[in-house]
Amino acid sequence: MRAFQQVEAWLAEWAVPGDGGGGLVVDSAGTCVTLRLSGAVVARESSLEAGGAGIARAVAAAMSAAEERLVVVRDATWRERMTALAPTLELTLELAGPMVPLTEEELASPSSMLSPGLHGVAVRVGDSWRATFPAEMLASGVPFEVALSSLVARVVGDPQLGARTPAELARTEGAAFYRFRTVHLAHPARGEPPVFLYRGGRLVDRSSLGTRDLRELADRYADHLMARRWREAGRYGMVGTLLPVAGRAEPPFAPPLQQGLVAVALAEYAARAERGRAERARTFAVSLLADLSVVEPGEADPLRDAASVALLWVAAHRLDARRHDDGELQEFVGALEAAMVELEGAPLGSPPSARDAVVIWARATRAGAGLGDAESAERDLRGVYAAIDPASVVSLLPWLGWAELALHPAGGVPAAQALWGVRDLVWEHQVSDGDATSDSLDLVGGVVFTRSENPLPTWHTVRVLPFMATMLGDARLTEGERVLPELSRLLASLRFVRQLTADEVVCHLYADRERAAFGVRSAPWDQRMPPEATALALLTLTETLRAMEARADGGP
């Protein structure tokens, strides 16, 4: 913090003392300084010189880079202009700990051995050093292998070396590779005091997830989804996966399946939100349906995909979209209805996929509303259970579970035994407090679905959580003595989802902060924001709040 305050003072004067740090005494092996203006990086410079002298060197280089980026003409008033600009800049400061040589095992597979966003990496070739600090890797999403090889290419001055593996470069170029940890401070926003960061954000405590917090978080998720509206001319609805560091989306507009899921999530949220918010969410969800009713050039036809049809039909049903005085929208809802009738006898995949489960859920919802064939939906639902092994049921949640309850809203649940086994399997793969190390404190509550060499939880955790919450609220699936243990496990996973959420601290990394705020990221080290991640998070909160109210009231 003392170093951060000193750097702020240098920036305010737009000058660094010529005595190599001005007497600043800091125990660090290197420094990285990042300057942002309105979220955009205007300078990022590092130095592997130790202590205060290294900090001063990095700051001086960052000032020069900022002047060059901002095209500052060094006339008689240039320093006045820079000191006037300094208060609008946001500072990130990383101080490196000791350089630790990579072992042969780490060098062979650095991405599975090092912790993204916590470890920086450095390279030495002869007497020349280069390093990439964790904050830069968080922003770029570059894997460790690429970062190490790129550093060698820069040191040697041969771009082609970036295509070779670190282990190969160690042999052919005599490169020595290192890892290091950092202390990381940043301004979360202009004018706000600096905060210490862990993997670019703050550690979320489970105690911060009270009922009021969950309601407020649901509101923020809904706001985020509605902020993803396509801003240009044309009826495309929503943008696709956000790349908030770059301030753009890829693809530019979301496919119908993602928009359908968002519409469902907002419809469910609106059923429980306060009146003003509920109306806004319904209006936005209906506008998505209206936009999809006209297929623009380059846009996929939602009626050509069964899972998209299913989600959009459920959204239209929940929103009572037929009552809106829009001829195109009414015609589109009619087309969705006709497409659902055609899906009544359509064959399922072999083995059934999550998209098949979405269709079965929509068919079960229709049957529960007296609009579809319950016997056909029941037969196909039992066929899914027969066609897959119990562990694979996890990949079909929440849709398969919701289909079960839509067909059996009262009485016994035929697949209860299978659903209990799925829930046990989910919690068996949940990262617990006991599993956490200094490199994984933010991963507690996440669920690991991969069997890769270095399994880490990602946003896919949230795929199963909506139905875990539904089970909690149903006395047929969660008996009284299991309510508190199940709630504890669910809240642990919600803590992880909240950790994935880009709050005001995480947003310091982003160019487009307004649109990215409170989106759910792909992982703590991966800033991409798929629409379905936030939509499923919103569905989870809606179901959790419903379950907590039901169990508190002693209801079914």
Which of 96, 129, 153 is the C-terminal boundary of a domain? 96
Task: Please compute Rg for the chain using Cα positions.
Answer: 26
Higher pLDDT, 133 or 71: 133
Based on the domain organization, do 412 and 441 belong to the same domain? Answer: yes
Backbone angles phi, psi at 481, to 5 degrees: -70, -15
Where does residue 406 rank: exposed (0-12), middle (13-18), buried (19+ CB within 10 A)? buried
**pLDDT range class, residue 453, cuts 50, 70, 90:** low
pLDDT at 452 over 60: no
Backbone angles phi, psi at 90, to 5 degrees: -105, 135
Give residue 236's pLDDT: 67
**pLDDT range class, residue 145, cuts 50, 70, 90:** very high
Summarize the confidence of residues 324-351 as an average pLDDT.
90
Task: Tell me the pTM.
Answer: 0.93
Summarize the confidence of residues 233-246 as an average pLDDT.
85
Where does residue 348 rank: exposed (0-12), middle (13-18), buried (19+ CB within 10 A)? middle
Backbone angles phi, psi at 258, to 5 degrees: -70, -40
**pLDDT range class, residue 42, cuts 50, 70, 90:** very high
Tell me the C-alpha distance between 513 and 511, whole Å. 6
> Each residue of 291-314: pLDDT tens digit?
999 888 778 899 999 999 999 999
Highest mean predicted confidence (pLDDT) among 35-49, 255-269, 288-302, 379-393: 255-269
Based on the domain organization, do 107 and 54 belong to the same domain? Answer: no
Give residue 512's pLDDT: 87
Based on the domain organization, do 441 and 303 belong to the same domain? Answer: yes
Summarize the confidence of residues 217-225 as an average pLDDT.
98
pLDDT at 243 over 90: yes
Q: What does the mean pLDDT of the chain come to?
A: 92
Give residue 17's pLDDT: 85
Which of 168, 197, 226 is the C-terminal boundary of a domain? 197
Q: Provide the CATH number for the domain around residue 296.
A: 1.50.10.20
Distances (CA, A) of 414 to 65, 418, 464, 541: 66, 9, 20, 26
Distances (CA, A) of 386 to 244, 302, 317: 43, 30, 30
**pLDDT range class, residue 234, cuts 50, 70, 90:** low
Q: Provide the CATH number for the domain around residue 129.
A: 3.30.1490.150
Angle between helices 354-368 and 374-387 (to 10 degrees): 150
Return the ∠ at Cα 553 (arms to 551 and 556), rounded to 5°.
55
pLDDT at 323 over 90: no
Where does residue 369 rank: exposed (0-12), middle (13-18), buried (19+ CB within 10 A)? exposed
pLDDT at 335 over 60: yes
Based on the domain organization, do 25 and 156 belong to the same domain? Answer: no
Summarize the confidence of residues 238-256 as an average pLDDT.
92
Give residue 216's pLDDT: 97
Based on the domain organization, do 250 and 332 belong to the same domain? Answer: yes
- Classify each residue of 514-533 as buried b or exposed e, where b means 16 or more C-beta atoms within 10 Å of its C-beta: ebbbbbbbbbbbebbbbbbb
**pLDDT range class, residue 18, cuts 50, 70, 90:** confident
Nearest to 519 by CA among 188, 241, 140, 261: 241
* Bridge partners, residue 44, by sequence: 34
User: Under DSSP, is residue 182 helix (H, G, I), strand (E, B) or coil?
Assistant: strand
Higher pLDDT, 348 or 364: 364
Tell me the C-alpha distance between 324 and 315, whole Å. 14
Based on the domain organization, do 53 and 144 belong to the same domain? Answer: no
With contact defined as beta carbons under 8 Å apart, do 221 and 541 qualify? yes
Q: Which residue type sits at 222? A: A
Based on the domain organization, do 315 and 290 belong to the same domain? Answer: yes
Return the ∠ at Cα 283 (arms to 355 and 260), rounded to 5°.
10
Which structural domain, as residue segments, surrounds residue 147?
Answer: 99-197
Q: Which of 295-299, 399-403, 414-418, 493-497 has the lowest mean pLDDT?
A: 295-299
Compute the residue count for the chain. 556
Q: Which of 213-217, 293-297, 375-379 has the lowest mean pLDDT?
A: 293-297
**pLDDT range class, residue 39, cuts 50, 70, 90:** confident
Give residue 501's pLDDT: 97
Return the ∠ at Cα 140 (arms to 539 and 88), rounded to 5°.
90
Helices (H), 181-246: 211-227
pLDDT at 555 over 70: no
pLDDT > 90: percent of the chain: 75
Q: Which residue type sits at 98? A: P
Based on the domain organization, do 68 and 139 belong to the same domain? Answer: no
Based on the domain organization, do 16 and 141 belong to the same domain? Answer: no
**pLDDT range class, residue 265, cuts 50, 70, 90:** very high
Which of 96, 124, 157 is the C-terminal boundary of a domain? 96
Give residue 396's pLDDT: 95
* Bridge partners, residue 31, by sequence: 47, 95
What 327-336 contacts at long range (C-beta under 8 Å, 24+ apart), as own/partner pairs, is: 328/290, 328/293, 328/294, 329/286, 329/289, 329/290, 329/293, 331/293, 332/289, 332/290, 332/292, 332/293, 333/289, 335/303, 336/303, 336/309, 336/312
Nearest to 438 by CA among 97, 108, 34: 97
Angle between helices 275-292 and 306-319 (to 10 degrees): 140
* Strand positions, DSSP E, 119-261: 119-125, 128-132, 176-186, 195-196, 241-243, 248-250
pLDDT at 235 over 70: no
**Number of domains making up the chain:** 3
DSSP run (H or E) holding 32? strand 30-37
* Residue pointed to by tokens 């579970």: 401
Based on the domain organization, do 175 and 227 belong to the same domain? Answer: no
Tell me the C-alpha distance between 498 and 501, whole Å. 5
**pLDDT range class, residue 269, cuts 50, 70, 90:** very high
Give residue 207's pLDDT: 87
Tell me the C-alpha distance between 1 and 515, whole Å. 30
Summarize the confidence of residues 400-422 as an average pLDDT.
95
pLDDT at 275 over 90: yes
Based on the domain organization, do 289 and 349 belong to the same domain? Answer: yes
Tell me the C-alpha distance between 142 and 233, whole Å. 33
Based on the domain organization, do 387 and 250 belong to the same domain? Answer: yes
* Bridge partners, residue 92, by sequence: 34, 186
Summarize the confidence of residues 145-174 as an average pLDDT.
92
**pLDDT range class, residue 19, cuts 50, 70, 90:** low
pLDDT at 410 over 60: yes
Give residue 22's pLDDT: 65
Distances (CA, A) of 26 to 23, 30, 97: 10, 10, 11
Q: Which two tokens stand for residue 203?
A: 């550690």
